[in-house]
Structure 1
Amino acid sequence: MYLPGKTSDAVEQLLHRLRQLTTALLEGFDLQQDSITLEGVENLYELFDKDQLFLVQDGMLHFCKNGQNLASFDEGDIVGISASFDMPAPVLRSDEYVELVPIDRDRLLRHIYSDKRRQHYWSHFLVCQNSLLLDFLSDMVKDQVRPTAGFQNISEGEVIIAQGDAAEHVYTIITGEADVFVDDVKVGEIGEEEVFGAMAVFTKEPRSATVIARTPCTIMAVPQEDFILLIEAQPQAAVNLIENLARRITALNQQLIEKH
C-alpha cells in the first residue's frame, strides 16, 4: 500500500506490518481461482459481487473518493474488505493494467478462524488498518488551531503598536476603540472585533502605522507564528481579515476623495 505525500515513520511501520500480516493470513490458503487482468476500471465492484476480495498480483488499484486517489494498493495487498462487509468505502479503480486474484470472502474467513494464530493475525490486521487511518488523518488533516493568545487591558491614549516597530503579534480589539495614525496623521479607526497589525506579519516589514487606544480597550494579542497557523487551518479567519482590510481601504479611498 502507498499513501500520498510524505508519510511519517509510524505510518511506514504500520504499512510494513500490514504487509507481514497479509502474508501470514494467506499462508496455507489455496488461491483456487486464476488471476484476472483489467485495464482502466472506474469502479471494481460494478464488475464483481461485493463478497469477493482480491489479491493484487501486478499493477495498482487506487482508493478513490470525489476524483482523488486516497491510497494505492500494489502486489501482495488484499483489497475489498470494507466492500465485502457492505460498509461505505471509496471506490477501487485502476488507470492502467492490473492483475488480480479473486478470493471468496467466506472461504478466507473460514481459513482464518480455523486457526487461533491466524485469528490473532486477523485482529492485529484490522487494528493496524484502523491505526493507519487515524495516524494518517492526524498528519493530513489540520486540527482546529487555538493560538496562544494573550489578553491585555489598554488605557485610553496608550500606544498599542508603534509605526516602525517590528511586527511580532496580530491584534484583535475585544472591547473599546482605537485610532490609526501614519506620520502623526489620523488615517482610520478600529472597532470591536476588528483585526489589526496583520499586514506587517505577511510583508515582514516594520509597522506601517501607529495604533492608539481612543477608549479603554481589551485586546487579544496572537503571536505571528500562531496567527499564520490559524489562517492556514481556518479559512474563515482569512475571509474575516480580508473583509476588515477591504473596509479600511474603502475608508481610506473615501478620505482621499474628500481631500481632493
Structure 2
Amino acid sequence: MHFPIKQSELMSDLAAKLRGLSELLCAQVEPADAPFVVNISNDIFADINPTRLLRITEGQVDYYLNGKLVMHFTEGDLLGLPRSLNLPQGQFSCKAPVTFVTYERDALVTAVNADLKSQRNWAYYLLCTLSIYEQAFTQELRSEFQPSAGFMHYRAGETIIQQGDAAHKVYTLLEGSADAVCDGIKVGEIHANEIFGALAVFTRQPRIASVIASSDCTVLAVRKEEFITLIEHQPQICLGLIEEMAAKINQLNTQLLQLKTSKTP
C-alpha cells in the first residue's frame, strides 16, 4: 500500500506492518478458490462475491474514490473488507495483470477469533489501517493557514528592500506602487496586489535588486518560514507567483529588445 502523495517514512513503516499482519491473518485461513489473474479492469470487484476478500500476490491495484486516485495497493495487501461488511467502498482497478488469492470473510473472522494472539493481530491490523489513513489525511489536508504578518507603510522614495541584503521576508504590495532598481537602474515596476521579494527566499541568495516606493505604499510582510508554510497549504499562491515572474521576464525581454533597437545605427 502506498499513496500518490509524497509518503512519509512513518506511513511506509505502517504499510509494511499491514502487509506483515495480513500475511499472518491469511495464513490461518484456507483460500476460498485457486489463485486467479485479472488482466485489465476498471472494477476488479464487479463479478466477485460480496463476502469475498482479495489478497494481492503479484501486481498493483489502483484505488479510486469519487473519481480521484487515492491509493495504490501492491503485493501482500488485503482488499475488500469494507465491501464485505456492506460499508462504503471506492473502485479498484488495474492497468496490468494482477494475481489474487481469495478468502471468505466469515472464515477469516472465525480464524481471527480462535485465540487471543489472533485477536490481538486482528486488532493491530485494524489500528494500523486507521493510523495510516490518519497520517495520509493529515498530510493531504489543506487547512487554512494564517501567518503572522505585519503591515508596513512607506512614503514615496523610501526603500522597502535593499539590494544585497539577506532575504528574511516576502512582501505583498497592498496600496501604492514601487520600482525595482538594480545597480541604480530601474528594471521593473510593482503594482498593488503583487507579491515581491519571494525569489531571494526560494534561492536563499541576497536580494538582487532594491525595491523603492514610487508613491506612498502599504505593504504586508510575512517571514520567509511562514511564507513557505503558506505555499505548502495553499499551492495556488505558487501558481500566481509563476505567472507574475513570467510577466516580469516578458517585460525585461521587451526592455532589452528596445535597448538593442535604440543602439542599432
Normalising by structure 2, we get a TM-score of: 0.70
Provide the secondary structure at the position in 2 that maps to 1:44: coil
Q: What residue number does 1:214 align with? A: 215
One-letter code of the match for 2:79? V
**What's the CA shift for 1:180?**
1.4
Give the RMSD, CA atoms, in angstroms. 3.9
Which ranges of 4 or more aligned residues in structure 1 deviate by more than 6 Å? 246-254
One-letter code of the match for 1:215? D
**What's the CA shift for 1:45?**
0.8
Superposed CA deviations along residues 46-88 of structure 1, whole A, max 9, x for unmatched, are 23122211234x313413335858222314x432212323422
CA distance in structure 1 between the aligned counterparts of 2:187 and 2:27, rounded to whole angstroms:
79
Q: What residue number does 1:60 align with? A: 59
Structure 1 pair 179/18, CA: closer, same or farther in 2 (3 Å)? closer
Equivalent residue runs for 1:193-212 within 5 Å: 193-201=193-201, 204=205, 206-212=207-213
Structure 1 pair 19/188, CA: closer, same or farther in 2 (3 Å)? closer
One-letter code of the match for 2:134? L
Structure 1 pair 36/226, CA: closer, same or farther in 2 (3 Å)? same
Matched, 1:180 2:179: yes
Matched, 1:93 2:94: yes
Aligned residue pair count: 249
Structure 1 pair 124/45, CA: closer, same or farther in 2 (3 Å)? same
Q: What residue number does 1:47 align with? A: 47
Superposed CA deviations along residues 171-230 of structure 1, whole A, max 9, x for unmatched, are 0134x4243153276964533x3322234445646332432273263x222234543454
**What's the CA shift for 1:170?**
1.6
Gaps of 5+ in 2: none
CA distance in structure 2 between the aligned counterparts of 1:64 and 1:186, rounded to whole angstroms:
51
Provide the secondary structure at the position in 1 that maps to 2:111: helix
Structure 1 pair 97/5, CA: closer, same or farther in 2 (3 Å)? same
CA distance in structure 2 between the aligned counterparts of 1:155 and 1:180, rounded to whole angstroms:
13
**What's the CA shift for 1:17?**
3.1
CA distance in structure 2 between the aligned counterparts of 1:248 and 1:2, rounded to whole angstroms:
40
Matched, 1:134 2:101: no
One-letter code of the match for 2:170? V
**What's the CA shift for 1:116?**
5.2
CA distance in structure 1 between the aligned counterparts of 2:70 and 2:149, rounded to whole angstroms:
41
Equivalent residue runs for 1:99-248 within 5 Å: 100-113=100-113, 115=115, 117-139=117-139, 141=140, 143-144=142-143, 146=145, 148-157=147-156, 158-174=158-174, 176-180=175-179, 182=181, 183=184, 188=189, 190-191=191-192, 193-201=193-201, 204=205, 206-212=207-213, 214-215=215-216, 217=218, 219-231=219-231, 233-242=233-242
**What's the CA shift for 1:117?**
4.7
Provide the secondary structure at the position in 1 that maps to 2:107: helix
CA distance in structure 2 between the aligned counterparts of 1:73 and 1:251, rounded to whole angstroms:
50
Q: What residue number does 2:84 align with? A: 84
Normalising by structure 1, we get a TM-score of: 0.72
CA distance in structure 2 between the aligned counterparts of 1:144 and 1:239, rounded to whole angstroms:
18
One-letter code of the match for 1:25? L
Q: What residue number does 2:71 align with? A: 70
